[in-house]
Amino acid sequence: MAAQRVFPLSCVVQQYAWGKMGSNSEVARLLASSDPLARISEDKPYAELWMGTHPRGDAKILDNRIPQKTLGEWIAENQNCLGSKVKDTFNGKLPFLFKVLSVETALSIQAHPNKELAEKLHLQAPQHYPDANHKPELAIALTTFQGLCGFRPVEEILTFLTKVPEFQFLIGDNATTQLKQSLSHDSQAMASALQSCFSHLLRSEKKVVVEQLNLLVKRISQQVAAGNNVEDICGELLLQLHQQYPGDIGCFAIYFLNLLTLKPGEAMFLEANVPHAYLKGDCVECMACSDNTVRAGLTPKFIDVPTLCEMLSYTPSPSKDRLFPPKWSQEDPYLTLYDPPVPDFTVMKMEVPGSVTEYKVLAVDSASILLMVHGTVTASTPTAQAVIPLQSGGVLFIGANECVLLKLTVPEDLLIFRACCLL
């Protein structure tokens, strides 16, 4: 049994419409690299790669000694592999879902409830909120990755209200005045004013939204055609979102929310009640195992404006404050940790130069899932009967307190991500 605590996984690909098409997708690249027999369809979107035990995407075990079992089934029979603290804290279940996302079309203005609200929403509307768990998320860029995250400083929002009359029309004079006056008051007054403005926007009549958006699109398009710079009103992004979601209220959300462009390795953490949207690019994502998302725009899915407006954290901050910096490991010079303030997950990034022929993946008191983004190695453990070949796109389950030795079979740099639960 001990020899079976480390094994490769076959993960689940989700072909959602917002994903990147064919080989343009990092998901498709990893899939093709790990499986030479995989056929990538250039006319299909490859949006997400799921690594975990989610009911809608339970990974399959690729080990002849564990025939025809999913990871969830195996963990249910071998709960000690989770680690004692993880097993007791999360009732014998893997608490996180590990993903790769490839985003081509904007992925909804949304936020996730905390546990208290998740329980309430699940009781009230289980068809829309299918479980009682919270859903904090961490996104780490693999390529240049663009997203919206948290409310902008009020001064920036007021600047857009001045420069974009269509935006100001939807907010209204009273809410705009309240927001201006909040600058000279405390943070509670500012949050209240910001909530009033955002709620005015999201509760605008659909016909009025379409009219104002069409006016704005026409004006920006004329400026672009004339060779004018429209960066000061996020013109290019507005046109892009309107093309993807014509007439959608979510297009105006760019004037409320911070626009982040992450370089590879940079991250943002999306705790409960923080408004956000993924716009474009490829990332590694880790999240608590849940399906609870409250949406308000840029989506064909169920929209719940009253819940979103009530639940959000109306704390403005500069975009740089929304970056989530990793910490360097004291034990491993090639390891950085993204350790958000939630118990459900931690993500490790390992960048190992090709000149290092062997690399030891340290044991932790938690089950973990390891993703090879770049590199070719063999993996072995003290108890394993045979080595496991692992290349780009390969995924490995590692039981708690198991160390794994990686031997480079091709002298090229390794990029590895590992999700675990460090309680």
Query: Who contacts 33 (Cβ-Cβ below 8 Å, separation ≥6)?
Result: 391, 392, 393
Pairwise CA distance, residues 391 & 33, whole Å: 7
Judged by DSSP in three states, 238 sits in helix
Judged by DSSP in three states, 16 sits in coil
Pairwise CA distance, residues 238 & 259, whole Å: 12
The binding site for Zn(2+) consists of 110, 112, 137, 276
Residue closest to 337 by CA, chosen among 394, 420, 423: 420
Q: Count CB-CB contacts under 10 A for residue 257.
A: 22
Judged by DSSP in three states, 419 sits in strand
The answer to whether 69 touches 350, Cβ cutoff 8 Å, is no
DSSP 257: E
- In the set 29, 152, 295, 418, the catalytic residue is 295
The separation between the first and the last C-alpha atoms of the chain, rounded to the nearest angstrom, is: 25
Structure tokens at 238: 């507005």
> With 0-12 CB in 10 A as exposed, 13-18 as middle and 19+ as buried, what is 341?
exposed
List phi, psi (to 5°) of 309: -60, -35
Q: What's the alpha-carbon Rg for the chain, to the nearest Å?
A: 23
**What one-character-per-residue DSSP string does 266-299 give?**
-EEEE-TT--EEEEEEEEEEEEES----EEEES-
Scanning the structure block, which residue is given the tokens 């590199």? Answer: 375
For the chain, the maximum distance between any two Cα atoms, rounded to a whole number of angstroms, is 72
CA 277 to chain centroid, in Å, comes to 9
CA 55 to chain centroid, in Å, comes to 19
CA 4 to chain centroid, in Å, comes to 30
> How many helices (H) and strands (E) in the chain?
11, 26
Structure tokens at 47: 């949006």
The binding site consists of 110, 112, 137, 276
Torsion of CA 412, 413, 419, 421, to 10 degrees: 120
Known catalytic residue at 39: no
Q: Active-site positions?
A: 295
